[in-house]
Amino acid sequence: MKKLLGLVASLLLLSGFLYAGVKALTPKQTVNSKKTLVLYNWGAYLDPALIKKFERQTGYHVVYETFDSNESMLTKIRQGGTSYDLAVPSDYTIAKMRREHLLQPLNKKRLSNWKYLDKQCLNRSFDPDNRYSVPYFWGTLGIVYNDKKIQPETLKSWNDLWQRRYRKQILLVDSARDIMGMVLISEGKSMNATSSVDLKLAEAKLVALSPNVKAIVGDEMRMYLEQGDAALGVTWSGEAAQMMQNNHHLRYFVPAEGSNLWFDNLVIPKNARHVQAAYAFINFMLQPDNAARNAAYIGYATPNWRAKQLLSKRHQLEPQLYQTNLRHLTVYRDLQPSKLQEYNDLFLNFKMSSH
């Protein structure tokens, strides 16, 4: 996910209380029970009330564990110490897990609510024909701005961020892949570029943005933008949704040149012990009322077309949170480790030059 930065810091502790006997590992005999579901998810990425509802309706007991990065999740599943029945990796990680034979193929005949999934969220490059994964949430990378400080007509393109009028007004999310990708697409390049020449040129252009950058931040972005301490920020759609609920002068959009489109999907790991429980939970979460409730609670876009219809305008907020045409958006590919390191190193150079 992208990644609920503002929510995780403030809600993880609260989630521990909310999930009480659910979140911590239960005794071994409970985990091995046939009436158990062991779920591995991002922190604060599921409405706790839905777990209680699922348990009440099905009789299954949910053991809920959380992770804070795709990498940590993947490492734990590779090690195989805990047999997770469901996990929620992001797009490029799903591609890795497929290649490493860490996933069970889906039997879609057991998924009666598959019909509610938007076709635009299916058959993506990281899992053609959705053989292994079920869309859970999706989102975009875009620009949040305060309409009291910025006139919308002055901000249409990624390239507009380099205007002098925005000196010390921009917040950037602390993510090498996203910020380097933003610059690459502003130059007409792919957000999955691997040419060292293209990446070096992107770094140079990013350094030229430094005078306009107020800060490169994580959790703090929500606070700064909600309180009006900065005019605009580059962040993810779900983060934008949370901000806009708290400050009605904030707006979100995805520049016309395109941007990143990401997906978090439900998968069944190869060593899952409670496969029947996994299918029951997937079907439960695909029920439109449950999917709508979860989307309202989390703030990201649901891939469930019927659930979207059920959401109130307050929860849908800006139309850009639910792009009607996803074709001009780019899903990140799983790049070689050496190339990812190059992205990280160039972004670090930019961060050091911005101080």
CATH number at residue 337: 3.40.190.10
| Residues 132 and 278 reside in one and the same domain | yes
| Residues 85 and 210 reside in one and the same domain | no
Q: Write out pLDDT tens, residues 279-313.
A: 999 999 999 999 999 998 888 899 999 999 898 76
Burial of 297 (0-12, 13-18, 19+ CB in 10 A): middle
| Residues 116 and 206 reside in one and the same domain | no
| Residues 151 and 285 reside in one and the same domain | no
The mean pLDDT value of the chain amounts to: 89
| pLDDT at residue number 189 | 97
Q: Write out pLDDT tens, residues 50-61.
A: 999 999 999 999
| pLDDT at residue number 267 | 98
| Residues 87 and 215 reside in one and the same domain | no
| Residues 324 and 308 reside in one and the same domain | no
Q: Write out pLDDT tens, residues 167-194.
A: 999 999 999 999 999 999 999 999 999 9
| Residues 35 and 133 reside in one and the same domain | yes
| Residues 217 and 184 reside in one and the same domain | yes
What pLDDT band is residue 354 in, cutting at 50, 70 and 90? confident
- For residues 117 and 303, the answer to whether their CB atoms sit within 8 Å is yes
- For residues 22 and 51, the answer to whether their CB atoms sit within 8 Å is yes
| pLDDT at residue number 158 | 98
Q: What is the mean pLDDT of residues 159-169?
A: 97
Give Dmax (Cα) for the chain. Answer: 63
Give, in order, the Cα–Cα distances in Å from 188 to each of 120, 208, 285.
24, 17, 38
What pLDDT band is residue 14 in, cutting at 50, 70 and 90? very low
| Residues 127 and 235 reside in one and the same domain | no
| Residues 124 and 200 reside in one and the same domain | no
274 sits in the region (left: phi over 0; alpha: psi -120 to 50; else beta) called beta
Q: How many domains does the chain have?
A: 2
| Residues 194 and 154 reside in one and the same domain | yes
Does the pLDDT value for residue 205 go beyond 70?
yes
pTM: 0.85
Q: What is the mean pLDDT of residues 129-149?
A: 96
| Residues 221 and 285 reside in one and the same domain | no
| pLDDT at residue number 26 | 41
Question: Residue 162 belongs to what domain range?
Answer: 139-260+320-354
| pLDDT at residue number 30 | 55
Does the pLDDT value for residue 317 go beyond 60?
no
CA 299 from chain centre, in angstroms, equals: 11
Q: Please identify, among 301, 316, 331, the residue that sits at the C-terminal boundary of a domain.
A: 316
In this structure, the number of other CB atoms found within 10 A of the CB of residue 172 comes to 25
Q: Which residues on adjacent β-strands are paired with residue 259?
A: 329
Q: What is the mean pLDDT of residues 222-237?
A: 95
What pLDDT band is residue 239 in, cutting at 50, 70 and 90? confident
| pLDDT at residue number 31 | 63
Give, in order, the Cα–Cα distances in Å from 253 to each of 111, 112, 240.
34, 35, 9
Q: What is the mean pLDDT of residues 76-100?
A: 96
Q: Quote the radius of gyration of the chain (alpha carbons, Å).
A: 20
Does the pLDDT value for residue 345 go beyond 50?
yes
What pLDDT band is residue 13 in, cutting at 50, 70 and 90? very low
